[in-house]
A = this chain, B = another copy of it.
Amino acid sequence: MSVDVVLLTLRAGRLCVLVIQRNEAPFEDYWALPGGFVGADEDLDSSARRQLTEETGVTTAGHLEQLYTYGDPGRDPRTRVVSVAYLALLPNLPQPGPGQRGQQARWWPVEDLGPPDGPTLAFDHPRIVADGVERARSKLEYTPMAAAFCEEPFTLADLRRVYEAAWGVGLDPPNFRRKVLSTPDFVVPVGAVSSPRGGGRPAQLYRRGTATALHPPLLRRSV
């Protein structure tokens, strides 16, 4: 029984996933998701957080949810290993340092994984990443979780760039603004404006609100 963590963030406007380079067989030198075997007396959530921190130095006190459990008999060449995958989202973070077992860790743009632009991940991790990304894209429609990608305080343009990066589309700013502000307490004004960047006008700053669902939803098909 193992856990694997799909940790997503936004870097330079691109959706990125945290990967480590394995330094032991099988798949030695391959890039893979952080994770590993669950301890005998460890619950699954705690194991996911522990292994993420040990292998990448990243600590996530925030949003961490079960993604799916992968149990195909042949998914690990050694023996039967069922993996419980977790999904987490964090605001922009620096490149991580090496893990406690010496693995390299880095952010990789999701769209660059696989040939010709990037590595093919070990095991069935390409599928786990794809499932995690689709879960995130879908939850952006109905939940306020996009704000979890933003460092507070943030502008509505910052929030819009999360949607644009995750969905790979351009969104109409006034339409986006109208829909976001239609859900009470999705975002809350902090009563200050941003410093103008690049000659733009200062923009209202927000923090995360307490809404748990978006009414109306922000649907990929209708933006």
A21 to B127, CA, bound (A): 38
Interface assignment of A215: CB less than 8 Å from any CB of chain B: yes
A73 to B40, CA, bound (A): 8
Interface 0/1 of A72-89, CB less than 8 Å to B? 110000001010100000
Interface residue count on the A side (C-beta < 8 Å) = 22
Chain B residues, CB < 8 A from A71: 1, 38, 43-44, 84
Closest to A45 in B: B71
A91 to B206, CA, bound (A): 47
Decide: A41 near B73, CB < 8 A? Known: A142-B142, A219-B215: yes
Interface assignment of A95: CB less than 8 Å from any CB of chain B: no
> Is there an interface contact between B69 and A69, defined as CB atoms closer than 8 Å?
yes
Q: Which A residues from 97 to 147 make CB contacts under 8 A with B?
A: 142
Interface assignment of A53: CB less than 8 Å from any CB of chain B: no
A44 to B81, CA, bound (A): 12
Chain B residues, CB < 8 A from A38: 71, 82
Interface assignment of A42: CB less than 8 Å from any CB of chain B: yes
The oligomer's copy count stands at 2
> Is there an interface contact between A72 and B84, defined as CB atoms closer than 8 Å?
no
> Is there an interface contact between A69 and B44, defined as CB atoms closer than 8 Å?
yes
Interface assignment of A217: CB less than 8 Å from any CB of chain B: yes
Chain B residues, CB < 8 A from A216: 216
Interface assignment of A60: CB less than 8 Å from any CB of chain B: no
Chain B residues, CB < 8 A from A82: 1, 38, 44, 82, 84
Instruction: Give the one of A73, A80, A217 with max B CB within 10 A.
Output: A73
Chain B residues, CB < 8 A from A92: none
Interface assignment of A66: CB less than 8 Å from any CB of chain B: yes
Closest to A138 in B: B213
Chain B residues, CB < 8 A from A72: 43
Q: 10 A-B residue contacts at CB 8 Å?
A: A1-B1, A1-B71, A38-B82, A40-B73, A40-B80, A44-B69, A44-B71, A44-B82, A142-B142, A217-B217
Q: Apart from A42-B73, A43-B71, what are 9 other A-B pairs with CB-CB below 8 Å?
A: A1-B1, A1-B82, A38-B82, A40-B80, A43-B73, A44-B69, A69-B84, A82-B82, A215-B222
